[in-house]
Structure 1
Amino acid sequence: MDLDTLLGRAISLADGGDWGPAADVLRDNVADFADEASVHCALGVAERELGNDGVAYECFKKALALQPEDPYLLATAGNGVAWFDDPDAMEALKSAALLAPDVPLTRMLYGAYLAREGFHEWAVEQLEAARELDEFDPQIPRARHRRLGPQRL
């Protein structure tokens, strides 16, 4: 199976809510794609959805160790390790936002991280930029509200 087929199959299963089979197909093939950050990152997402937080963390760490340049991978893996207060989160999320400043997801996740870490002014800048890029994304106002509280909205 090639990389696109593997990821397509896993995404198709995940989109249907079948996280167990999605994780299984990724686990069964991860050894064949040991140098592909996208496989480790996708497996991390699936493991997190299944409640396997420790395994998810290791998958996200492996994805970052492979030094991906794709902003979506950096944002997803960076966000994954951020929940464990991993110092690699800052660099990954910042890199994602710098590589793709026009992608709301990168700005939102970086802003949420900055807010969690207490950098509220910088967080507001990132979250406002995300909202300007996609004013209809319902996650962006929620992320800002959750991280900064209603008094900062």
Structure 2
Amino acid sequence: MIVVTLVATFGTVLAGCQSGQLVTGSIEPEAVTAPSAAQAAPATEAERVATVQRKLAEWQKRYQRRPNNKTNIITYAYLLRRANQSEEAIGVLQKATVKMPSDRDITIAYAKALADSGRPKEALEIIRRAEAASQDDWDFMSTIGALNDQLGDHRTAREYYKKALALAPEEPRVLSNLGLNYALTRELPQAESTLRKAASLPGADDRVRMNLALVLGLAGKFEEAQSIAGRDLPPVEAAENVAVMKRMLQQENTWDKVKKGG
């Protein structure tokens, strides 16, 4: 169920506020961008899984026909990651980096796949090879930020998010990462305001809205969190998410610990 995924993320936010774990995310190819709130989203987790599998099968065929096409490589690898096949995605991108060692987009995608597999240090080493030539790429800067967040260096991560925003001031996905970075450093008012801005911008997808819902839940604003989650989830699942958030915050006075920075 999607509730498991979202509540697991919420738990990671709570853990991050106390021990510094990653909750910021990466950016998907335009070819498979999630539907906006105005579009019809899949009503159940089974439908969402089926949609990913359908797209994966489609792009696998495209990749097999043209394995050296960059769009095919990046999109196929991304969908493998969405299908929880990160090792397969790494294999695809590793081959691509041999063929296209100086391609920045391939390098970014490879780093994201490594990070998904719990190898952020390796990912950061790889992506830094292209940093000098990537000062004008907001996606690149945001990815380095996310990797630093995963490694617990939230101050450096924030610097890279701000570099990304200097290049793309209205990019909701970078703002979403920055908002969650604030949550990790217990700056909840800044986290909430940044995520509200991100969610209000054109191009904000379901993950941006879910991040806002998570931070609202962390702030104890459960009714609004449920309302926002309900834009992309069936009402029952949105309610389940919020109910579990409440229970998690009530366990051992978690919320008091977070507010006190403990």
Query: Per the shorter chain, which TM-score range?
Result: 0.7 to 0.9
Q: Does 1:12 align with 2:76?
A: yes
**TM-score scaled by length of structure 2:** 0.47
Farther off after superposition, 128-137 or 113-122? 128-137
Give me the whole-angstrom Cα distance separating, in 1, the residues matched to 2:220 and 2:187: 16
Mapping for residues 58-77 of structure 1, pairs under 5 Å: 58-64=125-131, 66-77=133-144
The residue aligned with 2:198 is 130
**TM-score scaled by length of structure 1:** 0.74
The residue aligned with 1:94 is 162
Q: Relative contact order (C-alpha < 8 Å, sep 6+): which is higher?
A: 2
Identical-residue share of aligned pairs (%): 20
Give me the whole-angstrom Cα distance separating, in 2, the residues matched to 1:150 and 1:59: 36
CA separation of 1:123 and 1:19: change in aligned 2, threshold 3 A: same
Give me the whole-angstrom Cα distance separating, in 1, the residues matched to 2:126 and 2:71: 15
Shift of 1:56: 2.7
Amino acid at match of 1:122: Q
Cα displacement string for residues 116-141 of structure 1 (whole angstroms, at most 9, x for unaligned residues): 12333332221111111159733234
Which sections of structure 2, spanning at least 5 residues, go unmatched?
1-67, 225-262
CA separation of 1:25 and 1:68: change in aligned 2, threshold 3 A: farther
Amino acid at match of 1:45: K
Alignment coverage as a number of residue pairs? 150
Mapping for residues 3-152 of structure 1, pairs under 5 Å: 5-6=69-70, 8-16=72-80, 17=83, 18-30=85-97, 33-64=100-131, 66-86=133-153, 87-134=155-202, 137-147=205-215, 149-151=218-220
Cα displacement string for residues 80-108 of structure 1 (whole angstroms, at most 9, x for unaligned residues): 22111234312111122232222210111
SS of residue in 1 equivalent to 2:220 = helix
Amino acid at match of 1:89: A
CA RMSD of aligned residues (A): 3.0
SS of residue in 1 equivalent to 2:169 = coil
SS of residue in 2 equivalent to 1:127 = helix
Higher alpha-carbon Rg: 2
Amino acid at match of 1:42: A
SS of residue in 2 equivalent to 1:111 = helix
